[in-house]
Chain A
Amino acid sequence: MRLILALSLLLLSLMAAAVIETYQFDNEVLRKRYQHFTEELRCPKCQNQNLSGSNSPIAQDLRRELHRLLHEGYSDQEITHYMVERYGEFVLYRPPVNKQTLILWLAPALFLLLAVIAVVIVIRKQMAAKLNDESEQLSGLEQEKLTELLNDRAKGRDHE
């Protein structure tokens, strides 16, 4: 048991080491910007991971390139441009709004709108059903008439 535990610990440390690279940064701002970009840029190979999470060779290259660009004084905009020039807007997890990406940006609002419409329809139906229930209840006059009728029938039966 202890051996298994020790072994599993070993496995964990290996997995964690896989995406840790030791980059030296000239200052804290560069490190922050590096972290920001590796979170926001998507790995072109393993398409549902960002650069910080991916261990594919291309992600390693892009991280190295990112580190170089940051230290060469590229601005955020220039770095984004550099990446998009090579890998297309696909690498951005926050693509700019244009014809192709419009549906991505509008879809959440559209779905929310649909949901609101659905809720309104359901509530309206329920209210209408409630009103119907009320109108189906007999008014005082109608109730009297009904009792009379029933009584008349009962009497008629007695006579037979």
Chain B
Amino acid sequence: METRAVDLDEHFFRHESGRLVAALTRVFGVHNLALAEDVVQDAFCRALEMWKLRGIPENPSAWLMATARNRAIDALRRERTARTFAPELSRLIESEWTLAPVVHELLGPQALKDDELRMMFSCCHPRLAEPAQVALILHILCGFSMDEVAAAFLSSRAAIEKRITRAKKVLASSKTLFELTAADFTARLSAVHRALYLLFNEGYHGASYESAIRVDLCREAIRLAGVLRRHPLASTPATLALGALMLLHTARLSARLDQAGELHSLFEQDRSQWDTELIAEGRRLLDISATGTELTEYHLEAAIAAVHADAASAEETDWPRIVELYDMLLAIRPSPVVALNRAIALAQQHGPERGLEAIRAIYGLDRLSDYPFYPAALGELELRSGRPELAREHFRAALSLARSPMERRFIERRIAACRDQSD
């Protein structure tokens, strides 16, 4: 007896969960998000029970959708007297004649296309702080459980649960999913860009030291940026640039964080490990993002990543160009971290003393006081200026700020380098 072996995408359940919750939420109304989540959870349990014995069906997405649809009809029938649903539905679900056909139509493949996108926009509600938006996106659209979100942010489950529960309340106050034709579409799109950017950064630079989690976060951000890109309304130059920036950075991920979980700075990475296909695709997106008049931070960050991708080594990098791009970035989005990166690039161009000078001149330097790579940068430049003792003090300060064993080991290696040089 043979069981059928259909290969599922590695994160199929996670992605289907986001799509289904979004679609059911449109049908039930945003205030019934919890019901939509229950129905989807139930459909997944049935899929699990069935598929684990009978194997994965020919069209698993359709199977899940059909199961969720039947469960949705049951839920509507059960709850129609106790709850109000989406306005377009209220009258139609009262009659058994229209209930099933209407749900079939509302959850048909045609209608489903926009739901994921509309949910993404809904999660970026202006009344929600950015960390809440990101947590909500991870939880609803990426199917992360509370525990998985907590692990991603290196936060406690209780804190994340509070954040998500609060965010859902704000979401529920808006009854329907965000309309893509709404007047504030452009403003909301920027908020979505920002949330996806933060999600990506959490994976790329974040404190979580499990590399699987980091890769997952980067992958999810890339996937959702792709959802934006494939929609004619959302596929703006900024969307394209955001996608470019994610791909160009991800191309370096396996060199930045090696198999053993060791962190490597741009200067010591094995560049043969960089993913040339991702670089090519990132570059293509960056090229087509260069239309229109708006130059966004995503364009500039992607352009910086592209300059790095062009260089065979740190020494052969076009540092003057990078400094120039950082200057433009600082003009659009001033931040001490960007200024610190600019100072490091300047040190490459004009020597470590100029770099140190630039670091001392950073506006809002006190905001870097918890950031381990600030003293680490000072240490690096002092070391290069031939002052290993001073460098070591900076690295020690960095060590006390390290947020993970991975960062700690990285800084310890630098301390060892100071010792080598002073001997």
A and B: bona fide binding partners: no
Residue ranges of A at the interface with B (Cβ–Cβ < 8 Å): none
Residue ranges of B at the interface with A (Cβ–Cβ < 8 Å): none
